Amino acid sequence: MADTTDTTAGGVAGDDTRPISGRTGGKASGKASGGKRAGKNAAATAARSGSTGPGGPSKGRTRPDKSTGGPAKDAPATTGGGAGSSRTAGEPEAATATPGAPVDGVSRRRLLGTAGAAGAAALIVGGVAGATGAEAVRGKPTPLTDVGSGVVPFHGTHQSGILQPAQAHGHLVAFDLTGGTDRKGAAALMRRWSAAAAELMAGRPPQGDDSGVALDAGPSSLTVTFGFGRTFFDRVGLTDRRPDALEPLPAFTADVIDGKRSNGDLWVQIGADDALVAFHALRLLQKEAAGAARVRWQMNGFNRTPGATAQPMTGRNLMGQIDGTNNPKPSSADFAQKIFVPDGQQGPESWMAGGSYAVVRRIRMLLDSWDNLSLDRQERVIGRRKSDGAPLSGGTETTRVDLDKMGPDGALAIPGDAHIRVAAPANNRGAAMLRRAFSYHDGFLDDGAPDAGLLFIAWQADPLKGFVPVQRKLDRGDGLSRFLRHEASALFAVPGGCDEGGYVGQHLLEG
């Protein structure tokens, strides 16, 4: 039976899909100046890869109004601004549209940035969460300006930084609570962090912040995501409310895990399309934690810069492969069920409604060995062409993978140990996760090898039905695993988002 893996629409994550073709730089004039800028090819590519769409450099870029500390008047709406602030056309299509496809030039990132997280989530999960999200984006188009102007709302059903395309710069940082921090102290910290994140994501320096680091920049699609590690629950006396899903991940044979760079009581994922904006958020949250929690480990990552490619494309990793193509599609009926913890759960884990579990792995690539492989061999290790990401069974990047296809030599077109064969949901009882990674490079090791690879982040409603079974399979029979070392590992419960006035984790800490 041929593989039924659906490759018809693009990945959500790991994609850099921001079109630059025909970009206008769009002054923030209230018109969607980038509206028609993506050409036919760009639109087609975006349709499969999760588009985002700031235009080129702009004189009318959005930035905080320094006199008031609020957003400049040309700033895009930040929270719940969807109604009346976004696109006019295509709402019905938007609800059913291929995720990521620019609709009248208004990209998915734009929709996410203007619909409000709840609306955006409803929009992109389509029928799963209901089509009401489409209503939230009805209204006047907002201008597409530049990279700095991208806004993602902090408040909503799900936390940000899961469904949005991975940004150009990322910081992953884990904290341990200090000895004296109890449940009340942890709640106060989450309240401070949530308030600061909401301000930062709106492009406003939080009260009392005069660091100036991000002063001239817009929000740059900043997202801040908070998670709780297994040990958090012991520290704050809530062991009875710890989800079973936070059971430690099993050891895998290819693991060379450094405990000091693994796990942690709290986790913060920061992503932004500007390095200073990302650092500013990191530094501010670290300062807010003073006395309550201290940094346990930190990792820095990156992706392709928005607009770096001539047309929207799925991003590449440091092995040069197009990575993210076959992520679960928000348009598929079971997307929400596979990625998010459902509402209406009774019992001690009900606080996780709308949340997700993040598996974080620092995976070093053995690039010297990899680079010694011929192109043909590299492609057979993955099962896809390097140039355009097309499966070796034929077609283009988005063509359905045919695992049964035989080559002219009578052998399987996609080898038995190819990464996409071993990892495919069809070969893992439907196990699926949303991969949203950052690349990293931390210099060179003593032997001259690059200390570089992937900050792999997998999102799922239950790690035992997502990452764990797939990694078990990969650990045993994956051609790619020979070129990888898993050097750090962590698992976090990432609660649902919060409403204005609330904070992330409130249902746990005050429930």
* Positions that interact with ligand HEM (CB under 6 A): 5, 317, 319, 321, 323-326, 363, 365, 382, 384, 401, 419-420, 423-425, 453-454, 456, 467, 470-471, 474, 484
DSSP β-bridge partners for residue 435: 458
Amino acid at 294: R
353: its two tokens? 């409604």
Question: Least distance (Å) from ligand HEM to the CB of residue 301?
Answer: 12
Rounded Cα distance, 108 and 100, in Å: 5
323 catalytic residue (yes or no) = yes
The CA-CA-CA angle for residues 367, 370, 372, to 5°, reads 115
Amino acid at 17: T
Give the CB-side neighbour count of residue 390, counting CA atoms within 13 A: 9
312: its two tokens? 């929207």
Say which of 146, 323, 402, 417 is annotated catalytic.
323
Q: Which of 298, 237, 290 is nearest to 264 (CA)?
A: 298
Strands 266-272 and 169-177: antiparallel
Question: Least distance (Å) from ligand HEM to the CB of residue 8?
Answer: 12
Nearer to ligand HEM, 6 or 104 (CB): 6
Closest residue to ligand HEM, based on beta-carbon distance: 326
The dihedral built from the CA positions of residue 121, 126, 129 and 130, taken in this order, carries a sign that is: positive
The CA-CA-CA angle for residues 439, 441, 446, to 5°, reads 145
Rounded Cα distance, 120 and 106, in Å: 13
Rounded Cα distance, 327 and 437, in Å: 12
The CA-CA-CA angle for residues 8, 11, 13, to 5°, reads 175
Question: Least distance (Å) from ligand HEM to the CB of residue 49?
Answer: 10
Question: Least distance (Å) from ligand HEM to the CB of residue 90?
Answer: 27
349: its two tokens? 């884990």
234: its two tokens? 């012991």
Nearer to ligand HEM, 222 or 360 (CB): 360
Rounded Cα distance, 426 and 65, in Å: 51
Strand ranges (DSSP E) for 351-402? 356-365
Question: Least distance (Å) from ligand HEM to the CB of residue 460?
Answer: 10
Q: Which of 359, 314, 399 is nearest to 14 (CA)?
A: 314
Torsion of CA 434, 274, 215, 144, to 10 degrees: -80
Residue 352 contacts residue 493 (beta carbons within 8 Å) = yes
Rounded Cα distance, 119 and 128, in Å: 13
Rounded Cα distance, 446 and 14, in Å: 30
Question: Least distance (Å) from ligand HEM to the CB of residue 299?
Answer: 14
Question: Least distance (Å) from ligand HEM to the CB of residue 389?
Answer: 6
Question: Least distance (Å) from ligand HEM to the CB of residue 331?
Answer: 16
Rounded Cα distance, 195 and 203, in Å: 13
Active site residues: 323
